[in-house]
Amino acid sequence: MNITIENIVLVGSILLFISIIVGKTSYKFGVPTLLLFLAIGMLAGSDGIIGINFDNPEIAQFIGIVSLNFILFSGGLDTNWKSVKPILKEGILLSTLGVLLTATSLGTFVWFVTDFTIYESMLLGSIVSSTDAAAVFSILRSKSLALKTNLRPTLELESGSNDPMAYVLTIAFLTLVINQDKSFLSIIPLFLQQMILGCALGFAFGLISKFIINKIKLDFEGLYSVLVIALMFITFSATNFVGGNGFLAIYICAVYLGNQDLIHKKTILKMFDGLAWLMQIVLFLTLGLLVFPSQIIPYFGIGLLISLFLIFIARPVGVFLSLVFFKMKMRRRFYISWVGLRGAVPIVFATYPLLAGIEKASVIFNIVFFISVTSVLLQGTTLSIVAKWLHVALPEKTKPVAANERYILNLPKSAMKEVTVPPESFAVDKRIVDLHFPQSAFITMIKRNGKFVRPGGATIIEANDVLVVLLDNEDSINEVNEVLSGNKND
């Protein structure tokens, strides 16, 4: 079946519907949802039942980049800075040094067991060197897996921030494969430029985005989510335009925004959560359509060998050497190394050699695809089992609620108070979003002149307003009083 304007919407919507229905029941059988999305795409492809003829790496790469924008941005918005801050150094080293060590050790192994040149081997190692944010976020959150001693924020920080390093290495070694006369040292300036500009512009665009979101007045609440999408793409494209790493920039921008007080924040976060799932499905379906299973079979043996080396040797080497300077129990290191899921990101990166037209491009793509499927199938299905085996999982009854989840979901509080705002209060004539209300309290209603006002981030507090506040506990009222008096803002 050829993709035409007449049937693309029908076939696409049917595939999307099937993916959602199948994904709903997949975990009953212990199969990661993302792997099923990929399988559905393969069944619909040229070698599959439906026979959709899709062989366009350029379109697949475009869809992949757009999808990764939403996935990384959503993951950044959900990252709680208070949870990440204690393990920031570990996360940064895992996402930089860990990726580099994984890429070079796997590349060296590929060089020994194949007829690849050293640069082609390093290119393959670079493509599969990072853990996949879509796979990690999806599997950890779908399973509601609670882990001890900051393990979960470590894994989510690493997976959300290590794609930029893998991208830089992929582009660098692809350049060396195309231009054999260049030396390895020539890629160092590219690496520094990408990472430094990515970090700086990510934070800068975060500050600018917060200012725009909170200051602009839109007539419809839904437009704020559209505004954030526009700011996300501006951050990515502008950073790429000046030579920085757009993936790193949007992740840092999203982490900053996710930990700030924003107008209609709950709506924005829920919208991005839904879009991230949509993009994951679309991404895996597209990559499933792109691959030809008949072309992968000849590489089954070498693909399995490289995949096992990556899972059991290269990834642990990268993790253990990156964390050698930190005090951490051995079982934690083992679990971090096991959650080295490879998913859609390596397959997207594998389209770069295809578009560059290098000699081994199709071989690299097929091997990378096999590695990703093997990783999700082997590691993705055993995360809970290995966590229990290594004693790093929390018992079901003691699973904590993350700070961001409490804030987003507005879970029931244990106390309720009515607070009158006096005319001399610091809060008078200020918007709720500008008060930086504590997360331990939530304004559910405002009594004003005998009427009830539904509060939102842009709602302006007036003198003599009666705030109906839900609290975590009775003591939380002190934090509310500090905010209303202005003492917390000094």
The predicted-structure confidence for 125-175, as pLDDT tens digits, reads as follows 999 998 877 667 666 665 556 677 678 888 888 887 888 889 999 999 999
Helix (H) or strand (E) holding 470: strand 466-471
User: Worst-scoring range by mean pLDDT, 5-9, 32-36, 341-345, 407-411?
Assistant: 407-411
Q: Does residue 413 have a pLDDT over 70?
A: no
The predicted-structure confidence for 108-129, as pLDDT tens digits, reads as follows 999 999 999 999 999 999 999 9
Fold of 413-489: Alpha-Beta Plaits (3.30.70)
Q: Residue 285, CB half-sphere, CA atoms under 13 Å: how many?
A: 20
Handedness of CA 182, 185, 186, 191 (dihedral sign): positive
Tell me which DSSP letter residue 53 carries. B
- Asked if domains 57-274+310-398 and 413-489 share a fold, the reply is no
Confidence of residue 405 (pLDDT cuts 50, 70, 90): very low
Q: Say if CB 345 and CB 132 are below 8 A apart.
A: yes
User: Worst-scoring range by mean pLDDT, 1-15, 236-250, 281-295?
Assistant: 1-15
| Alpha carbon distances (Å) from 89 to 97, 158, 332, 471 | 11, 11, 16, 34
User: Per DSSP, what are the bridge partners of residue 479?
Assistant: none
| Nearby residues of 245 by Cβ (< 8 Å), 6 or more positions away | 164, 167, 168, 194, 195, 197, 198, 239
Q: Which string of DSSP letters, residue by residue, matches 100-164?
A: HHHHHHHHHHHHHHSS--HHHHHHHHHHT-SPPHHHHHHHHHHTT--BSTTHHHHHHHHHHHSHH
The predicted-structure confidence for 425-469, as pLDDT tens digits, reads as follows 888 888 888 887 777 787 888 888 888 888 877 788 888 888 888
Can you give the pLDDT at residue 409?
41
Domain ranges for the chain = 57-274+310-398, 413-489
CA angle 132, 134, 140 (to 5 degrees): 95
Neighbours of 468 (CB within 10 A): 16
Average pLDDT on 10-31 reads 67
| Nearby residues of 44 by Cβ (< 8 Å), 6 or more positions away | 11, 15, 50, 52, 285, 288, 289
> What's the token pair of residue 15?
């595939």
| Nearby residues of 488 by Cβ (< 8 Å), 6 or more positions away | 436, 479, 482
Q: Mutual orientation of helices 330-338 and 315-322 as an angle, nearest 10°?
A: 140
Return the higher-pLDDT residue of 201 and 326. 201
Question: Which residue has tokens 């229990």?
Answer: 388
CA angle 400, 401, 407 (to 5 degrees): 160
What's the one-letter identity of residue 6? E
CA-CA distance, 396 to 403, in Å (whole number)?
Answer: 18
Tell me which DSSP letter residue 96 carries. I
Give percent of the chain above pLDDT 90: 35
SS3 455: coil
- Beta strands 441-448 and 451-453 are antiparallel
- Beta strands 466-471 and 441-448 are antiparallel
Q: What is the mean pLDDT of the chain?
A: 83
Can you give the pLDDT at residue 490?
44
Helix (H) or strand (E) holding 27: none
The predicted-structure confidence for 37-64, as pLDDT tens digits, reads as follows 777 888 877 777 776 777 788 998 999 9
Can you give the pLDDT at residue 142?
58
User: CATH: 1.10.510.10, 3.40.50.150, 1.20.1530.20, 3.40.50.300. Which one for 57-274+310-398?
Assistant: 1.20.1530.20
The predicted-structure confidence for 365-382, as pLDDT tens digits, reads as follows 999 989 988 888 888 778
Can you give the pLDDT at residue 16?
78
User: Per DSSP, what are the bridge partners of residue 393?
Assistant: 147
CA-CA distance, 131 to 338, in Å (whole number)?
Answer: 10
The candidate with the shortest Cα–Cα distance to 106, out of 295, 297, 302, is 302
